Amino acid sequence: MAATPTFPSSTILALDLGTTTGWALRGADGLTTTGTVSFRPGRFDGGGMRYLRFTNWLTEIDRLSGPVE
């Protein structure tokens, strides 16, 4: 009989990077949440806006879900 893997009780975030980024989040409670988020720049946005949107989104994920590893 194979052993069941155990996972640490921490939050893990997996990313599929791109202008539209896919993500999966496994919380400390073991539940998995998935989704996509778009960082497409607007018509008049500068070159750094995609990066700023991404870092703001990561900060918000960290704030809402607890420390992300």
The per-residue pLDDT for range 44-53, each reduced to its tens digit, is: 988 888 899 9
> How far does CA 52 lie from the centroid of its chain?
15
The per-residue pLDDT for range 10-52, each reduced to its tens digit, is: 889 999 998 899 999 999 888 999 999 998 888 898 888 889 9
Domain boundaries, the chain: 12-65
- Phi/psi zone of residue 58: left (φ > 0), alpha (ψ -120 to 50 degrees), beta? alpha
The answer to whether the predicted template modeling score (pTM) of the entire model surpasses 0.85 is: no
